Amino acid sequence: MKRKLTNESSNEPKINIIKKSITISAVGILCVAVLSGCSSASNTSKAVVKSEKQIAVMANNNEPVNNEIALEKMYSIKGIRVMDWIDENTVLVMKENYQYPQIQHDSSKAYPKNFYEYDINTQNLKLIAGSNTDMAYGVLSPDKKHIFYKEGIESNLTGFILNRETGQKVKVTNVDSISSSEGIWLDNNTVIFSEFPQGGIYTADVKGNVKQIENTPKGMTSNTAKALDKVYYTSIDGKLYMQNINGKENKFLKDNIVWLIPSQNSDKLIMVKRTEKTKMVLVVTDLEGNEKKVLAEGTQIFGTNWSPDQSKIAYSTAADNSGKAGLFVSDINTGKTVQLSGDVGLAADPVRWSPSGKRILTTSATIENNKPEFVSYIIKLK
């Protein structure tokens, strides 16, 4: 069923109090900070190379064992939010565009943040597309030709698909109807996402054609994903459901699911599950949600993502024990876990692997002088 988009402009978002109070996002406490008015570093932000360091390696019981060097170099980039890899040496970043007037946020004004290409070797920035409002939460298609992203001010967002080479964009959601965390590419041409508060699961292609999947739930859902002919989503209270892409056989799978990501070949799922009020676990399951292995635990687990060869998972954790907090990579077959860094902070976005799987990027956010400050890290693995 095709869905007609309204003609409302994303430059004039309306306020939705319900949405703001129950935002479903990878970084709930940082979602407002992401698009709030803040000062970023200048266009001449430079990478800082950190020296090699000893890396803690955990056994299957998450206790430290012998140190190994798994990290070759780590670059930190201040004032730029790195979103995804374009190729091994170029990344998609979000940065203030000084060519437009400042826009009013709840408590301050700031220049709109737009998408750029950033060469990590030369530190050169190239504008992909400009807008007089914020562009954020960009995810590249597998062939890197299109970006699914959200445009708006703070949490009042509209979904777009942007052609990276031409800068042309098409609107694929109504104004103020999509969560920052929603949207996964199914192939080079199509994304899948949930809308709220009205509900419904949709697919949209690079030409702007939008279709609703039949018999999808009303009300707020998130974690929308697809594996083979199955569509997955979670309700606002963390219940995980699965249904056929044709709209039949809606099935409840599990409670208390925070995150869900299928593997690229659609034979496994990784989930972040809340087991206690202050405890989460990272698990590998089959497509029916049957748990095969527990990889990690912590008070928070953010940024979870598969490596290109689907043998490893990267993620960041917060934990009472500092040895279990930081940025980690776990091997899903052996259960061996390597701590890449204990001081990069919680991931503000999904951790991204480079196409070769030899580099990882992550971005963390801190509040300095009542303003969010983003620091992105690019880690070269041995």
Q: What are the pLDDT digits (tens) for 329-356? A: 999 888 888 888 777 777 778 899 999 9
Whether the predicted model's global pTM rises above the 0.85 cut: no
Tell me the pLDDT tens digit for each residue of 272-313.
Answer: 999 998 899 999 999 999 999 999 998 999 889 999 999 999
Mean pLDDT over 37-58 rounds to: 33
* Cα 230 to Cα 242: distance, rounded to the nearest angstrom: 6
* Cα 300 to Cα 71: distance, rounded to the nearest angstrom: 24
Answer for the pair 173, 182: CB distance below 8 angstroms, yes or no.
Answer: no
Task: Tell me the average pLDDT of the chain.
Answer: 80
Task: Place 72 in a pLDDT band, splitting at 50, 70 and 90.
Answer: confident
Task: Place 102 in a pLDDT band, splitting at 50, 70 and 90.
Answer: very high
Whole-number pLDDT of residue 268: 94
Whole-number pLDDT of residue 98: 95
Tell me the percentage of the chain whose pLDDT exceeds 70.
Answer: 80
Of the given ranges (14-18, 159-163, 243-247, 376-380), which has the lowest mean pLDDT?
14-18
Mean pLDDT over 231-244 rounds to: 92
* Cα 218 to Cα 226: distance, rounded to the nearest angstrom: 18
Phi, psi angle pair for 133, to nearest 5°: -135, 170
Written as one string, the DSSP assignment of 240-301 is EEEEETTS---EEEESSEEEEEE-TTSS-EEEEEEEETTEEEEEEE-TT--EEEEEEEESEE
Mean pLDDT over 6-25 rounds to: 33
Q: Is CATH 2.130.10.10 what the domain over 17-381 is classified as, yes or no? A: yes
* Cα 290 to Cα 165: distance, rounded to the nearest angstrom: 42
Task: Place 57 in a pLDDT band, splitting at 50, 70 and 90.
Answer: very low
From 228, 220, 223, 148, select the one nearest 190 (Cα to Cα).
148
CA 70 to chain centre: 24
Answer for the pair 283, 293: CB distance below 8 angstroms, yes or no.
Answer: yes
The residues facing 24 across adjacent strands are: none
Collapse the DSSP code of 38 into the 3-class scheme (helix H, G, I; strand E, B; otherwise coil) and give the result: coil
Q: State the virtual CA torsion across 360, 366, 176, 131 in degrees, nearest 10.
A: -70
Whole-number pLDDT of residue 6: 54
Tell me the pLDDT tens digit for each residue of 112-152.
Answer: 999 999 999 999 999 999 999 999 999 999 999 999 999 99
Whole-number pLDDT of residue 276: 92
On the question of pLDDT at 361 being above 70, the answer is yes
Mean pLDDT over 209-227 rounds to: 88
Beta-carbon contacts of 238 under 8 Å, excluding residues fewer than 6 positions away, are 255, 256, 257, 258, 274
Whole-number pLDDT of residue 165: 93
37 vs 226, residue with greater confidence: 226
Of the given ranges (42-51, 82-91, 329-338), which has the lowest mean pLDDT?
42-51
Collapse the DSSP code of 33 into the 3-class scheme (helix H, G, I; strand E, B; otherwise coil) and give the result: helix
Distances from the Cα of 358 to the Cαs of 73, 85, 334, 355, in angstroms? 11, 12, 19, 8
Task: Place 320 in a pLDDT band, splitting at 50, 70 and 90.
Answer: confident
Enter the DSSP assignment of 18.
H
* Cα 176 to Cα 195: distance, rounded to the nearest angstrom: 9
